[in-house]
Structure 1
Amino acid sequence: MKIAVLAANGRAGQLIVEEAVNRNLDVTAVVRGKNKSKAPKSISKDILNLTYEDLKDFNVIIDAFGAWTSETLPLHSTTLKHLCDILSGKENRLLVVGGAGSLYVNKEHTQRLMDTKDFPDDFKPLATNMAKSLDELRLRDDVNWTYLSPASDFQADGKRTGKYILAGEELTNNSNGKSEISYADFAIAMVDEAVSGNHIKERISVVVE
Structure 2
Amino acid sequence: MSNVVVFGAGGTAGSRITAEAFDRGHRVIAAVRRPEATSYLPAGVRVVTGDVTSARSVRELAPDADVMVVAVGGGDRALWRDAAQNLTTVLRDVPAAPRIIHVGGGSTLLTPKGTPVLDEPDFPAEYRESALGQADALAWYRTCADGVTWTYLSPPPLEFHPGERTGHYRTGTEEPVTDAQGRSVLTYEDLAVAVVDEIENPRFENMRFTAAY
TM-score between both structures, scaled by the size of structure 1: 0.90
Could you say which residue in structure 1 is the equivalent of 2:60? 53
SS of equivalent to 1:18 = helix
Residues 51 and 123 (structure 1 numbering): CA distance in 2 closer, same or farther, change over 3 Å?
A: closer
Question: How far apart in 2 are the matches of 1:133 and 1:30?
Answer: 20
Would you say how many aligned residue pairs link Structure 1 and Structure 2? Answer: 203
Native 8 Å contact 1:4 1:30 kept in 2 = yes
The residue identity in structure 2 corresponding to 1:161 is T
Q: Judging changes above 3 Å, is the alpha-carbon distance between structure 1 residues 51 and 190 closer, same or farther for their aligned structure 2 residues? A: closer
The answer on whether the counterparts of 2:108 and 2:135 sit within 8 Å (CA) in structure 1 is yes
* 2:147 equivalent among 142, 156, 159: 142
What are structure 1's unaligned runs of at least 5 residues?
none
Matches of 2:70 and 2:189, distance apart in 1: 16
1:115-160 alpha-carbon deviations (Å, 9 max, x no partner)? 1223222222211111011111111122100000001224332222
Residue 190 of structure 1 pairs with residue 191 of structure 2: no
**1:3 maps to what in 2?**
4
Quote the residue 2:77 is aligned against: 73
Q: Which whole-Å CA distance do the structure 2 matches of 1:45 and 1:132 have between them?
A: 22
Q: Deviations over 1:53-87 (max 9, x none)?
A: 3212211111111112xxx3311111221111111
Q: Calculate percent identity across the aligned residue pairs.
A: 30
Give the match's secondary structure for 1:101. Answer: helix
Structure 1 segments of 4+ aligned residues over 6 angstroms from their partners: none
Query: What letter corresponds to residue 107 of structure 2 in structure 1?
Result: G
Aligned to 2:184: 179
1:122 aligns with 2:126: yes
Asked whether the 8 Å contact 1:76–1:129 carries over to 2, the reply is yes
Deviates most, 47-56 or 9-18: 47-56
- Change over 3 Å in CA distance of 1:116–1:156 after alignment to 2: same
Q: Residues 153-192 of structure 1, C-alpha deviation per residue, up to 9 Å, x if partnerless?
A: 2433222222111111112212332111111110100110
Any stretches of 5+ residues in structure 2 without a counterpart? Answer: none
1 CA distance for matches of 2:123 and 2:61? 39
Across the aligned residues of Structure 1 and Structure 2, the Cα RMSD in angstroms comes to 1.7
1:62 aligned counterpart, secondary structure: strand
Higher helix share goes to which structure?
A: 2
Matched, 1:104 2:110: yes
Question: 1:92, 1:195 → 2: CA distance?
Answer: 13
- Paired residue type of 2:150: W
What is the TM-score when the length of structure 2 is the normalising length?
0.88
Counterparts in 2 of 1:84 and 1:112: CA distance versus 1, 3 Å: same
State the distance in 2 between where 1:51 and 1:101 align.
27
In 2, Cα distance between equivalents of 1:174 and 1:167: 12
Deviates more, 1:184-193 or 1:82-91: 82-91
Aligned AA (1:40): V
